[in-house]
Amino acid sequence: MREQLKFNDDGTFKILQLTDLHIGGDIENAEDIKTFQLIDELIEAERPDLIAITGDLIWSEGVDHPEISYRRVLNHINKWNIPFAVVYGNHDSEANITRTELFSIQKDYPNSLAQAGPSSIHGVGNYSLPIQSAKIPKMEAILYFLDSGSYAPKNMSGYEWIHLDQINWFVEESNKYARANEKRLPALAFFHIPLPEYKDVFSVGKISGIKNEAICSPNINSGLFAAMLEAGDVMGTFVGHDHDNDFCGELFGLSLCYGRVGGYNVYGDLERGARVIQLYEGKREFDSWILLGGGKVVSLYRHNEK
């Protein structure tokens, strides 16, 4: 049995969000080599308690053996002996490999906490991870991971959405944890494609970070944001997908955040880096920032529910 996630003795739990690494099929590609070097630098700088990777780990289209690329990424992460969790993006299984095949590769890595999730609902990788108290055997926070899919059907444009059966699964999980703990635990959610509400958050409230491209959310709003508001446990969502955006903003008390693109073998003008999220045991709050190479920190953000 893999070790449970736990808060540290000082009451903190730190997550390093990597996203959009886009490792290709050429093992000598200079940009991919830079990406791996940056990953090492970021992990070394923060020494997180969990690494959360929010999709597009690899290129699959135009790559004959994307399974080799995927193993390269997982080998590089796993060597740090830090628990890691993954959700898939639209490019991970675009061609020559399926999400099920990706998960079959991943499931045997000793530090991987990812789960395939229920086979009866859309996607591969809908799962939750509780974080235990540092002092006593009880849950203190929840991390949700959802598969936001890839592309909309051909008679529609744009990207897939998180489906109703996935939303129902989230609500059931949230209620299960609330019953077991006799309260709503602080929670975060991770997936790849931003919700339509990311378009709204930039025009209201407080914003930290950069919006340098259009928000590429699905054309269908399936209601996950409303479900999270009504459930009352999720404090913030964390996505990737749009490489020139890295902002966090608050909409109706829920923080909607991007990570920072980490891969060099892909479009985007932002300096490569990662997002760091720090939770606090027993508190409905978190701090977050963007970490760049050389230890540079930008875009400080705080979520604090009074």
Q: What is the pLDDT of residues 235-271, one digit of tens each?
A: 999 999 999 999 999 999 999 999 999 999 999 999 9
- In the predicted model, is pLDDT for residue 222 greater than 70? yes
- In the predicted model, is pLDDT for residue 205 greater than 70? no
270-290 residue pLDDT tens:
999 999 999 999 999 999 999
pLDDT of residue 1: 43
pLDDT of residue 2: 63
- In the predicted model, is pLDDT for residue 184 greater than 50? yes
CB atoms within 10 A of CB 262: 25
Which 3 state secondary structure label does DSSP give 293?
helix
224-239 residue pLDDT tens:
999 999 999 999 999 9
Residues in Cβ contact with 36 at an 8 Å cutoff, skipping those fewer than 6 apart: 23, 76
Which 3 state secondary structure label does DSSP give 149?
coil
Angle 116-122-124 from CA coordinates, rounded to 5°: 25
Report yes or no: 155 and 200 within 8 Å, Cβ to Cβ.
no
Q: What is the pTM of this model?
A: 0.97
Give, rounded to a whole angstrom, the gap between the first and last alpha carbons of the chain.
37
**Residue 137 one-letter amino acid:** P
Report yes or no: 82 and 49 within 8 Å, Cβ to Cβ.
yes
48-69 residue pLDDT tens:
999 999 999 999 998 989 999 9
pLDDT of residue 199: 95
C-alpha–C-alpha distance, residues 53 and 89, integer Å:
10
Written as six digits, the tokens of 205 are 């409230």
Report yes or no: 15 and 279 within 8 Å, Cβ to Cβ.
yes
C-alpha–C-alpha distance, residues 185 and 56, integer Å:
29
C-alpha–C-alpha distance, residues 105 and 69, integer Å:
11
> Which position has the token pair 């003008």?
269
Nearest alpha-carbon partner for 159 in 146, 169, 149: 149
Report which DSSP code applies to 92.
T
Assign 94 a pLDDT band (cuts: 50, 70, 90).
Answer: confident
CB atoms within 10 A of CB 40: 14
Q: What is the mean pLDDT of residues 21-50?
A: 98
- In the predicted model, is pLDDT for residue 76 greater than 70? yes
Kindly report the backbone phi and psi dihedral angles of residue 93, in degrees, each rounded to the nearest multiple of 5, phi listed first: -125, 35
C-alpha–C-alpha distance, residues 134 and 146, integer Å:
26
C-alpha–C-alpha distance, residues 49 and 12, integer Å:
9
Helices (H), the chain: 30-46, 66-78, 99-106, 164-181, 197-201, 224-231
The crossing angle, in degrees rounded to 10, of helices 224-231 and 164-181 is: 10
**Residue 166 one-letter amino acid:** Q
Assign 203 a pLDDT band (cuts: 50, 70, 90).
Answer: confident
Find out if CATH 3.60.21.10 is the number for domain 5-304: yes
C-alpha–C-alpha distance, residues 273 and 86, integer Å:
17
Across all residues in the chain, what is the average pLDDT? 96
Written as six digits, the tokens of 191 are 């997936």
